[in-house]
Chains A and B, each alone.
Chain A
Amino acid sequence: MENIAVIVILVSLGYFFGRMAENKHYQSIREREQAFLSLPTTSTKKPMGNIDHISHVQLVHGNVVISVDYFKRFLATLRNIFGGPIQAYETLLDRARREAVLRLKESCPDANQIINLRLETSSISKGDSERIGSVEVLAYGTAIYHQDSNAQAPIL
């Protein structure tokens, strides 16, 4: 009886606090994505526009680690029994990807464009059932600065 009570409390706490944190995070992601809308970010290998005007390029990256809450983990374990898409983890990964890209953009606010954007995902807990799972997403790419840009060239 006590065991069930503990699990119910943990699941409820995980749900309410997890959902609160998620909504807040999505709100912040939407606002920041809007603010950085004018910075073109692509996965192309060549810069867009006239390459003669480039003053310098820079490797930029942004990474984030997000933990799964108790409710999501419980739901994912249940889903493992029956199979199918683990919807509980979809928002977790979506937030992590978008946050990593945003951090990458925030690291080079004066860049004119970012090319060759790549994303890498890794699991921190490596499937260890004893630990709460968390995911790391690393976004990296090349920031391009035009000659008429106000940005200072990095000292190499």
Chain B
Amino acid sequence: MKYQPSLPEHNDNVSHHHPVREFVILIFGVVGLVVISFLILGLFVDQAVNYISPEDEAQLFAKVDLSGAFGDEESSTTQELLQQLIDSLGRCHNILFPLTVHLIKSEDINALALPGGDIVIFSALLKQLPSINGLTFVLAHELGHFKNRDHLRSMGRGLVLAALITYFAGANSDVSQMLASSMTLGQTKYSQSRESKADETALDILNCYYGHVGGATDLFETLQQEEEGSGSELFHYFDSHPEIQKRIEMIHALSKKQGYQVGETQPLNDHFAIQDTL
């Protein structure tokens, strides 16, 4: 027996397919699977939300304090005034289920509608808004979300998405991060349409309460000034709220279409002693 040294002509221990080809096939496969499952389950969520009445919702979330997650609550006369305002706005548009306002100390200019009938108002909003009409529009916008059941939709869809991503790609992998980010981008258009719908309801409520829609764009003009100051105009396309300028134009167009008048606005300080309480 003679030992004959030689090297193999081919390396049969490795595949010779291009890895990028495999990568593209797999990534399209997994994204496609998640997108299709999410579209189907998202429709189920939308249907299920229609069967959850505000009373059921209040019962479901009675023991959950979601607003507490955003910061300390400001218990003040301002909060009581906001509560009175939201109650009157609800009556104006026949939204009769109980809603609770939570005034939270925060530097963010924002307001949120949470499941269980809670509306969170961040204190910076009251400091920045020039008129009571502007504040009324923001509250009416949140009321619009409740009326359209958007808070339940977004929570339901969020849960479905988290479950799908965890099922397919595990809890904390690079693939799950990539899927979560890309699916959030994919949801942008859906969220924007829900925001526009809430703006529409808000405009109706504002007109019903004051008899005109003056101050409807106050918040967006304030945000626009803030943004011009900071100079960050990147990634606008991906905001869940339609681009600010577009949104202002849309509100103007809608009020024109509905034949709403634009009247005088009243300064916010006449109603709330903001600087003292916050």
* CB-based nearest A residue for B181: A3
Residues A78 and B238 in contact, CB atoms below 8 Å apart: no
**Number of chain B interface residues as a range:** 20 to 34
Stretch of B10-18, B206-214, B268-276 with 4 or more beta carbons under 8 angstroms from chain A: B10-18
Q: How far is the CA of A93 from the CA of B14 in the complex (A)?
A: 9
List A104-125 residues whose CB lies under 8 Å from chain B.
none
Q: How far is the CA of A15 from the CA of B173 in the complex (A)?
A: 18
Q: How far is the CA of A112 from the CA of B40 in the complex (A)?
A: 68
**Number of chain A interface residues as a range:** 20 to 34
Stretch of A52-60, A84-92, A133-141, A143-151 with 4 or more beta carbons under 8 angstroms from chain B: A84-92
Nearest Cβ on chain B to A128's Cβ, whole angstroms: 11
Residues of B contacting A: mostly: helix
Residues of A contacting B: mostly: helix
Residues B26 and A87 in contact, CB atoms below 8 Å apart: no
Residues A78 and B26 in contact, CB atoms below 8 Å apart: yes
Residues A38 and B170 in contact, CB atoms below 8 Å apart: no
Residues A48 and B173 in contact, CB atoms below 8 Å apart: no
* CB-based nearest A residue for B4: A40
In the bound complex, residues from chain B placing their C-beta under 8 Å from that of A30 are 7
Can you sample 25 A-B contacts with CB below 8 Å? A2-B235, A3-B178, A3-B180, A3-B181, A4-B185, A7-B177, A7-B181, A15-B20, A30-B7, A37-B5, A40-B5, A72-B19, A74-B23, A75-B19, A75-B22, A75-B26, A77-B175, A78-B23, A78-B175, A82-B26, A85-B15, A87-B14, A87-B22, A90-B14, A94-B13
Please give the residue numbers on chain A whose beta carbons come within 8 Å of chain B beta carbons, in ascending order.
1-4, 7, 10, 15, 30, 33-34, 37-38, 40, 48, 70-75, 77-79, 81-82, 85, 87-88, 90-91, 93-94, 129-130
Please give the residue numbers on chain B whose beta carbons come within 8 Å of chain A beta carbons, in ascending order.
1, 3, 5-7, 11, 13-15, 17, 19-20, 22-23, 26-27, 29-30, 168-170, 172-175, 177-178, 180-182, 185, 235, 238
